Amino acid sequence: MGERFYLCRIGVNEIVKNHRNCGIFSGYFERTAGYLHNALSIYDRIKEGVFNLSMEELQEINAALYQDIQPLPYQNSYANPEYAAEIMGEYGPYFSYLTAELYGIPAYIFENKLFQIIILLELFLEIYGMFRDETKPKLKFLREALYYHAFDYAEELVTDRVTESLDPSRKFAYNIIMESDLSDLRYLYAYGEYISPNEIKLAEYLNTLPDEEIDDIARTFTEGFRRGFVSMRIDLSKKKTVNIRYLIGQERIVRAAIKQFAEMGLSPILNRYAISRVNRRLTIRQGFTGTPVNRQFEYDHRMDDAVFLDADFAERKLTVLRRAYESMEELGRVYAGPAVIEGFGETPFQPIAKKEALKYSEKQQELSIRMASKTADILNQFIPADDYSFTIIAYPIPEIGTDFPAIFQETAAVNNLDNEKYIRIQQAIIDVLDRAEYVMVKGGNGNNTEMKIMLCELKDPEKETKFENCTADVNIPAGEVFTSPHLTGTEGLLHINSVYLNGLHYKNLNLRFRDGWITDYTCDNYEDELENRAYIQDNLLKGRDTLPIGEFAIGTNTTAYVMAKKYDILSKLPILIVEKMGPHFAIGDTCYSHEEEKKLYNPDGKEIVAKDNECSILRDIEPEKAYFNCHTDITIPYDEIGEILAVDETGRKTPVMKNGRFVLKGTEELNDEF
DSSP one-letter code for 21: P
Q: Are 77 and 252 in contact (CB under 8 A)?
A: no
Question: 10 Å Cβ neighbour count for 375?
Answer: 17
Which positions ≥6 away from 341 have C-beta within 8 Å?
Answer: 221, 244, 245, 246, 247, 250, 253, 254, 257, 392, 393, 394, 395
317 and 439 share a domain?
no
For the chain, what is the total number of helices (H) and then of strands (E)? 23, 19
Element (H, E) at 255: helix 251-263
pLDDT value of residue 385: 83
Which positions ≥6 away from 365 have C-beta within 8 Å?
Answer: 543
Among the candidates 121, 152, 183, a domain finishes at 152
pLDDT for 350-409, tens place per residue?
889 899 999 999 999 999 988 988 998 999 999 998 899 999 999 999 999 999 999 999
72 and 185 share a domain?
no
- 515 within some domain: yes
CA distance 28 to 88: 9
Q: Angle 69-75-80 (CA atoms, 0-180°, nearest 5)?
A: 65
CA distance 447 to 640: 6
206 and 174 share a domain?
yes
Question: 10 Å Cβ neighbour count for 223?
Answer: 16
Among the candidates 152, 177, 204, a domain finishes at 152
177 and 74 share a domain?
no
Q: What is the CA radius of gyration of the chain?
A: 26
How many CA atoms are closer than 13 Å to the CA of 399, on its beta-carbon side?
Answer: 18
How many CA atoms are closer than 13 Å to the CA of 30, on its beta-carbon side?
Answer: 11
CA distance 646 to 434: 9
380 and 444 share a domain?
no
pLDDT value of residue 232: 81
Q: Are 391 and 238 in contact (CB under 8 A)?
A: no
DSSP, residue by residue, 92-153: HHHHHHHHHHHTTHHHHHHHT-HHHHHHHHHHHHHHHHH--SSSPPPHHHHHHHHHHHHHHT
- 158 within some domain: no
135 and 168 share a domain?
no
146 and 207 share a domain?
no
- 410 within some domain: no
DSSP one-letter code for 620: T
Q: Are 482 and 552 in contact (CB under 8 A)?
A: yes
Among the candidates 395, 428, 458, a domain finishes at 395
555 and 634 share a domain?
yes
Q: Are 591 and 631 in contact (CB under 8 A)?
A: yes
Q: Are 108 and 117 in contact (CB under 8 A)?
A: yes
What is the β-pairing status of strands 241-245 and 335-344? parallel
pLDDT value of residue 473: 80
Among residues 522, 512, 551, 545, which one has the least CA distance to residue 634?
Answer: 551
- 604 within some domain: yes
Q: State how many domains the chain has.
A: 3
177 and 290 share a domain?
yes
- 402 within some domain: no
- One-letter identity of residue 536: I
544 and 443 share a domain?
yes
CA distance 567 to 400: 10
Element (H, E) at 33: helix 26-45
Question: 10 Å Cβ neighbour count for 526?
Answer: 16
144 and 167 share a domain?
no
pLDDT for 554-563, tens place per residue?
999 999 999 9
- 500 within some domain: yes
187 and 274 share a domain?
yes
Question: 10 Å Cβ neighbour count for 357?
Answer: 22
- 95 within some domain: yes
Q: In b/e form, how buried is each residue of 568-603, taking b as 16+ CB within 10 angstroms?
A: ebbebbbbbbbbbbbbbbbbbbbbbbbbbebebbbe
DSSP one-letter code for 473: T
DSSP one-letter code for 628: -
Q: Strand, coil or helix: what is 654?
A: strand
Q: Residues of the chain whose pLDDT is less than 50?
A: none
The gap from C-alpha 480 to its chain's centroid, in whole angstroms, comes to 21
Residue 110: domain span: 2-152
- 65 within some domain: yes
